[in-house]
Amino acid sequence: MRSLEIVLLGLALAACNGDKASSDTGSTGTPDGDTDTDADSDTDTDTDTDTDSDTDTDTDTDTDTDTDTDSDTATDTDTYYTDTTTDYTTDYYYDDTYFPTGETGTGPVGPLHVLHISAQFGWDQTIPGIVAMQESGTTFDSTIFLEIGTEDWANAGADESDYASYCFIELPLTSSTLATWASGDPSVYFGFDYVGGTAAATTNCNSPGLELDPAVFTADPVDFFVNGIGGWGVGIGDIGGAWYSYIPPGSLTDFVGARIQSNLAPYLNPEDFLAQVFEIDPTTYELQVDGTGALIPVSPAGVDLGGNIATGGYVVFSLFNYPF
């Protein structure tokens, strides 16, 4: 189990989940203006006089001149995304629809091109610093998770158990130094940077069936995200004002604001994130549970300690996805 599974109390996530932005512009084609009634949908003139669907044996002397994609075999002029990976050599992704023509591999249904971001970390206010959380013998390392999956996977809630539909890049968090971007923002209680470079990151992207398009993510997706984009960090602070336009009043009482910092801004707004905080033992860092086995939340009112944040296990998440 790589990351914490949490119940988001009082928040209707499924109804709000979706893309932060859409990367395609839709079809550039135009509707057919056909007026004939035969099976081909062109606008030429048939010389035969039958009114059926041209399944008889008469000779049709008409010649197609249109370029649409109806029942004839002419070519279409619409633009589409062509996947160049070895697993999807001839497939394409067009107008939010995946067309698996000429499938040559056993990968997921659809190219992996939608980024979903989350994070988790343990914090000890007395150090103050990052710690690894524990639960029944399982260690939860402090990490930023960059998960790149199919659009269907992302829009369905980015299920981590659907291993065939996404790949991941994990950025372990080891530095507890207050980040410059956090110290200069009064809405951030505390924040820190990812400092591990490409050497510390781990990934399963480009393993068989989980190939990424090198035309988008380059041949080295870890380098693409760590160095090509870079600037990754995590913070805790006030809830971003935009959340109140998405979520009904009173639904955010169990959460604090969170930040995922990167050089993807403004495409990725650092305030797109929330966090839920859970009690941990201050000595063993074991996550605390109640009589039903549920994690015990920390009151959001007690998180901001003025230049520090309360001891706890922090789970950072967003409702947004980021198509590439």
Q: Tell whether the model's pLDDT for residue 29 goes beyond 90.
A: no
13 falls within a domain: no
So what's the pLDDT on residue 247?
80
39 falls within a domain: no
Nearest to 193 by CA among 235, 141, 151: 235
Residue 90 in tokens:
């001839």
Domain count, the chain: 1
Could you give the C-alpha distances from 170 to 117, 119, 141, 200, 222, in angstroms and in order?
10, 9, 10, 9, 9
252 falls within a domain: yes
Best-predicted range by mean pLDDT among 37-41, 251-255, 258-262?
A: 258-262
Mean pLDDT computed over 20-47: 37
314 falls within a domain: yes
46 falls within a domain: no
Could you give the C-alpha distances from 226 to 1, 142, 194, 322, in angstroms and in order?
24, 17, 9, 17
Q: Tell whether the model's pLDDT for residue 164 goes beyond 70.
A: yes
- Kindly state the helix (H) or strand (E) to which residue 15 belongs, with its residue range: helix 13-16
Q: pLDDT (tens digit, 9 = 90+) per residue, 11-21?
A: 333 334 444 43
Of the chain, the percentage scoring pLDDT greater than 90 comes to 59
Could you give the C-alpha distances from 15 to 45, 246, 249, 252, 319, in angstroms and in order?
50, 10, 16, 15, 10
pTM: 0.70
CA distance 115 to 170: 13
So what's the pLDDT on residue 4?
53
318 falls within a domain: yes
Least confident of 2-11, 185-194, 226-235, 302-311: 2-11
Structural domain range at position 278: 107-323
Question: How many residues make up the chain in this entry?
Answer: 324
Least confident of 65-74, 214-223, 309-318: 65-74
CB 95 within 8 A of CB 24: yes
Q: pLDDT (tens digit, 9 = 90+) per residue, 115-145?
A: 999 999 999 999 999 999 999 999 999 999 9
121 falls within a domain: yes
281 falls within a domain: yes
